[in-house]
Chains A and B, each alone.
Chain A
Amino acid sequence: MGIGLALITVLGLIFFAYFGTAVVGLNALFAIVFPYAAFIIFVLGFIYRIVKWGKSPVPYRIPTTAGQHYSSLWFKQNKIDNPSTAWGVALRMFFEVFTFRSLFRNTKAELLQGRLYVGSSKWLWLGAIAFHYSFLVIFLRHMRFFTPETPWVIDTIESLDSFLQVHILGSPLLYITNLTILAALLYLLGRRILDPKIKYISLPSDYFPLFLILGIITTGILMRYFFKVDVTAIKELTLGLVYFKPVVPKGIGSLFYIHLFLVSILFAYFPFSKLMHMGGVFLSPTRNLANNNRMERHVNPWEYPVKHRHYEEYEDEFREKMKKAGIPVEKE
């Protein structure tokens, strides 16, 4: 559902950026106004969403327990998957956020001749890990555009990312992450199209970020390997943004502006979309709470007294029957 709509929207955005810069020449709009606006929307929107979630209390402590619990007996506790302390929770969250531990558990169910087969299935995990880490590395590499002197960390990341030492058609060194993120994106998109179940549940808002990021990656790759862009001019622009002395250097082509515009859209879109899972995973009460329910009381701020039946009422109704049966009663 909605793959066409998502694709057309992204193509429309690309055309909009091309038209706005190459035809109309509103370069300042795309170089300065949109990036600033997007950044502000991102920061405020992100904070707004987190605060809004945070305002909803956690009335009950309901972790999903995924291993042997802690008890006073001798059985060995699974401290990561069923943590009973804050440290355990920290570990569980660490593995959840950095290694996608729950997704790593993934299995696949198949019916064959009336029998069910459940087996391990790591492809989704692999695609997700490849995508997210590639994106992170690419994001960090781009910090060279926002710092006057490139920090050594960024240099190190760059050299690691290009350690294959391969050139394409005499262009700069190939980044591994360019390949992995493309492969991962195509896999994630492909399964949405080819797996009937995933296709059936997909919304336009599932395809849109995929096409948007594909657009960003493609324009980035084109600029680096195929169409030489004026990196010095671009850095002048990006540093201008950082120092609040925005400039629009000459000689930057539309390809860059398309790239920058799509990135701006991604930032502005982020807080209002499913991409907020980045923040939400930290707030998920089935993962970020310790399973120590019988040891430490969890307080619900809005708990209220409820009407319930008291023993006296019960005994009033059944007293005669209880007496006859020889069951002790409070009032004879």
Chain B
Amino acid sequence: MALPRPEELISDVNLKKMPSKPWMDTLPVEFKPGFYCYGAKGKNLAYVDMPNARDFHVTDPDWKLPEDWKNIVIQGIKQRIERFRTFHVFMDICVRCGACADKCHFFIGTGDPKNMPVLRAELLRSVYRKYFTSSGKIFGRNGGARELDLDVLKELWYYFYQCTECRRCSLFCPYGIDTAEITIMARELLNLLGLNTDWISGPVANCYRTGNHLGIEPHTMKSTLEFMCNDIEDITGIRIEPPINKKGAEILFVTPSGDLFADPGIYNCMGYMMLFHEIGLDYTWSTFACEGGNFGFFTSLEMAKRLHSKIYEEAKRLKVKWILGGECGHMWRVWHQYHDTWFGPIDFLEVPVSPITGTKFEHAKSTKIVHISEFTADLIRHGVLKFDKSRNDNLIVTFHDSCNVSRGMGMFEEPRYIIKNVCNHFYDMPDETIREQTFCCGSGSGLNAGEIMEQRMRGGFPRANAVRYVHEKFGVNLVANICAIDRAALPPLMNYWVPGVRVSGVTELVANAMIMKGEKEREMNLRMEPLPGKGGE
């Protein structure tokens, strides 16, 4: 479906005008093309034993739900209220102050009031009140409560698959109510009825079988890495042999599979291999633990755990000392905030120590996993790497903070430090749009499907708007980031809103500027385009 021109897209948005009907009276929800993902396929649900596996078509009036679906949802809410203090407290304490309302990129881009975090949460809260609170039972609608029926269920589905779990709202909430947590719970409930999307359930099934979302089988992964190494040889004259499933390596390296497959992730992947080669790192890839990302996290926490169990198991099988993680957003949220609880104590690995600089990563002493940006920043600080920054002189760079790394971990300085050491031109976007206040790419949490493009372009508008600002002011032409979803989602977003701005991972920039021992004089960057001053124009 063709999108309207950018200036038309946003012109119908009025954040100050609300519908005349109260929000409880606007059912049934209209499934507008471009605003929802296609339903899950039965075979993908069945492959990972999800309930009610059947082909699910969103616009079919009959969703082929189990007979007692309502009871399943209500019991599901009860179980989660009893298990998660987050969910329990967040269902109870919202005062509807509205501080979160205009913090959501989807609300800003659509003007749909149900995209206000407070109202997104109220969709579920109203059901919770009806069945679990005395005020809801007694006062009904006047107590903000409503019955769960099929129309309400469809509305829940529509709007909880319009949230990217970016947590920007939770930053501004005076009580720290986290819509991501509510969305996670809501999606768990929907998945009890087999109501997932194709874009999430497909990768989940792939990931379970092959270890990665894309379904890349081991031999293909090897040849993919080798193809990249061919390119690296063309560019640098240096031949790299990627170590795969190598037992006894010191470090297991895991990155999102997006880096193995699509432009511009592949350049980042080349960058990793060049960096590791240059410092002589004793590491290995695993063809099974070949996915740091986790679409299970967008299905249920249990599914997330099922998909990531392989990582520590592979670390154990391959007898490595610790794990190094590539650039990815939700991967790092899961690794940082959930892994140790799920898989710990990790007593078969060692506290990570950089074999090059000797830096002991004490802050990862329990999980034994270090972020590539932490690792690289440390290398740079110790003067291990030599750079020719002028190779990146055609790039005027800004940095997009990925939501999960920002608000689920707090890593802001490392990537900026790296970029400033390998690029001469760096400009941050305005303060209200970066670091902990960063705006989402609009495509996270499994929403980067093609069929939901209009919602993505609208949701990504606040991010693009800030890029446009530095593009016009400083001539910025590259958005660097440390997230595979960003690398997949930002290129179409930039093409739409700010043509002429490209997207890259941070390690690509590092590798491009890095002077490698024994390299030939470089003529091309990792994308095989002429380096600045090396012909072309």
Q: A residues engaging B (CB < 8 A)?
A: 1-2, 5, 49, 52-62, 64-76, 78, 81-82, 84, 96, 100, 102-103, 105-111, 114-116, 118-120, 124, 128, 191, 195-206, 272-274, 276-277, 280-281, 283-287, 291-300, 302-303, 306-311, 314-315, 317-318, 321-322, 324-328, 330
Can you list 21 contacts pairing A with B, beta carbon distance less than 8 Å? A56-B84, A62-B181, A62-B408, A70-B363, A109-B15, A114-B11, A197-B18, A199-B18, A274-B93, A276-B92, A277-B93, A295-B363, A295-B364, A298-B341, A306-B302, A307-B49, A309-B309, A311-B313, A311-B317, A324-B219, A328-B247
B283 within 8 A of A: no
What CA separation (Å) do A121 and B495 show in the bound complex? 32
> Besides A114-B10, A201-B23, A322-B287, 14 other CB < 8 A contacts?
A52-B88, A102-B99, A111-B15, A116-B461, A118-B432, A201-B101, A205-B144, A206-B96, A286-B86, A286-B181, A294-B336, A318-B217, A328-B246, A328-B247
B2 within 8 A of A: no
Q: Within 8 Å CB of A274, what residues of B? A: 92-96
- Closest partner residue, chain B, to A103 (CB atom): B174
Whether A68 contacts B461 by the Cβ 8 Å rule is: no
- Closest partner residue, chain B, to A69 (CB atom): B410
Q: Mark B319-356, 1 if CB is under 8 A from A, else 0.
A: 00000000000000000111011101100000000000
Q: Within 8 Å CB of A2, what residues of B? A: 142
What CA separation (Å) do A302 and B342 show in the bound complex? 11
Q: Within 8 Å CB of B113, what residues of A? A: 197, 200-201
What CA separation (Å) do A297 and B346 show in the bound complex? 9
B258-273 contacts to A, CB under 8 A, are none
Whether B85 contacts A58 by the Cβ 8 Å rule is: yes
Q: How many A-B residue pairs have CB under 8 A?
A: 334
With known contacts A56-B83, A82-B410, A107-B432, A295–B96 Cβ distance under 8 A:
no
Q: Within 8 Å CB of A72, what residues of B? A: 359-364, 374
B413 within 8 A of A: yes
What CA separation (Å) do A119 and B288 show in the bound complex? 47
Q: Mark B81-109, 1 if CB is under 8 A from A, else 0.
A: 11111111110111111110111000010
B170 within 8 A of A: yes
Pick the contact of B84: A59, A64, A298 (CB < 8 A): A59
Whether B174 contacts A118 by the Cβ 8 Å rule is: no
B173 within 8 A of A: yes
With known contacts A66-B410, A203-B96, A321–B218 Cβ distance under 8 A:
yes
- Closest partner residue, chain B, to A196 (CB atom): B18
Q: Within 8 Å CB of B208, what residues of A? A: 308-309
Q: Within 8 Å CB of B57, what residues of A? A: none
Whether A321 contacts B119 by the Cβ 8 Å rule is: no
Chain A: minimal CB distance from B347 (Å) = 11
Whether A202 contacts B96 by the Cβ 8 Å rule is: yes
Whether A109 contacts B116 by the Cβ 8 Å rule is: no
B270-309 contacts to A, CB under 8 A, are 287-288, 301-302, 305-307, 309
Pick the contact of A103: B172, B306, B435 (CB < 8 A): B172
Which of B151-159, B365-373, B502-510 interfaces with chain A? B365-373
Pick the contact of B410: A68, A114, A198 (CB < 8 A): A68
Chain A: minimal CB distance from B98 (Å) = 4
Pick the contact of A195: B93, B98, B413 (CB < 8 A): B98
B198 within 8 A of A: no
Q: Within 8 Å CB of B13, what residues of A? A: 111
10 nearest CB pairs, A to B: A69-B410, A65-B410, A280-B93, A325-B219, A286-B176, A109-B102, A287-B176, A308-B309, A200-B18, A284-B176
With known contacts A5-B142, A297-B344, A325–B374 Cβ distance under 8 A:
no
What CA separation (Å) do A107 and B103 show in the bound complex? 8
Whether B219 contacts A73 by the Cβ 8 Å rule is: no
Q: Within 8 Å CB of B414, what residues of A? A: 71, 73, 75
- Closest partner residue, chain A, to B466 (CB atom): A116
Whether A75 contacts B218 by the Cβ 8 Å rule is: no
Whether A308 contacts B99 by the Cβ 8 Å rule is: no
For chain A, what secondary structure do more than half of its interface residues adopt (helix, strand, loop), or is it mixed? loop
Chain B: minimal CB distance from A74 (Å) = 7
Q: Within 8 Å CB of A205, what residues of B? A: 135, 143-144
Pick the contact of A65: B16, B98, B408 (CB < 8 A): B408
Q: Within 8 Å CB of A61, what residues of B? A: 337, 341
Whether A294 contacts B365 by the Cβ 8 Å rule is: yes
Q: Within 8 Å CB of B19, what residues of A? A: 200
Total number of B residues with any Cβ neighbor in A under 8 Å:
126
Whether B218 contacts A53 by the Cβ 8 Å rule is: no
Q: Within 8 Å CB of A328, what residues of B? A: 244-247
Whether B337 contacts A73 by the Cβ 8 Å rule is: no
Chain A: minimal CB distance from B499 (Å) = 15
Q: Within 8 Å CB of A314, what residues of B? A: 210-211, 288, 310
Chain A: minimal CB distance from B334 (Å) = 10
For chain B, what secondary structure do more than half of its interface residues adopt (helix, strand, loop), or is it mixed? helix
Pick the contact of B340: A103, A287, A298, A310 (CB < 8 A): A298
What CA separation (Å) do A309 and B378 show in the bound complex? 35
Q: Within 8 Å CB of A286, what residues of B? A: 86, 170, 176-178, 181
Q: Within 8 Å CB of A107, what residues of B? A: 102-103, 172, 432, 437
With known contacts A58-B86, A71-B363, A106-B172, A78–B410 Cβ distance under 8 A:
yes
B7 within 8 A of A: yes
Pick the contact of A60: B22, B88, B341, B374 (CB < 8 A): B341
Chain A: minimal CB distance from B178 (Å) = 5
Whether B178 contacts A62 by the Cβ 8 Å rule is: yes
Chain B: minimal CB distance from A146 (Å) = 28
Q: Which of A59, A68, A114, A308 counts the most chain B CB atoms within 10 A? A: A308
Pick the contact of B436: A67, A285, A294, A318 (CB < 8 A): A67
B33 within 8 A of A: no
What CA separation (Å) do A246 and B302 show in the bound complex? 58
B533 within 8 A of A: no
B222 within 8 A of A: yes
What CA separation (Å) do A286 and B411 show in the bound complex? 17
Chain B: minimal CB distance from A187 (Å) = 12
Whether A66 contacts B171 by the Cβ 8 Å rule is: yes
Pick the contact of B89: A103, A203, A204, A283 (CB < 8 A): A283
Whether A283 contacts B172 by the Cβ 8 Å rule is: no
B71 within 8 A of A: no
B517 within 8 A of A: no
Q: Within 8 Å CB of A102, what residues of B? A: 99, 171-174, 176
B175 within 8 A of A: yes
Q: Within 8 Å CB of A318, what residues of B? A: 210, 217-219, 287
Q: Within 8 Å CB of A317, what residues of B? A: 209
Whether A66 contacts B361 by the Cβ 8 Å rule is: no
Q: Within 8 Å CB of B92, what residues of A? A: 49, 53, 274, 276, 280
Chain A: minimal CB distance from B132 (Å) = 11
Q: Within 8 Å CB of B143, what residues of A? A: 203-205
Q: Within 8 Å CB of B430, what residues of A? A: 118
Q: Within 8 Å CB of B366, what residues of A? A: 294-297
Chain B: minimal CB distance from A98 (Å) = 12
What CA separation (Å) do A102 and B359 show in the bound complex? 35
Pick the contact of A68: B88, B340, B413 (CB < 8 A): B413
Q: Within 8 Å CB of A273, what residues of B? A: 135
Whether B410 contacts A291 by the Cβ 8 Å rule is: yes
Whether B83 contacts A302 by the Cβ 8 Å rule is: yes
- Closest partner residue, chain B, to A277 (CB atom): B93
- Closest partner residue, chain B, to A107 (CB atom): B432
Chain B: minimal CB distance from A220 (Å) = 23
With known contacts A105-B171, A293-B336, A300-B341, A53–B85 Cβ distance under 8 A:
yes
Whether B409 contacts A69 by the Cβ 8 Å rule is: yes
Q: Which of A294, A298, A309 counts the most chain B CB atoms within 10 A? A: A294
B454 within 8 A of A: no
What CA separation (Å) do A258 and B14 show in the bound complex? 44
Q: Within 8 Å CB of B197, what residues of A? A: none
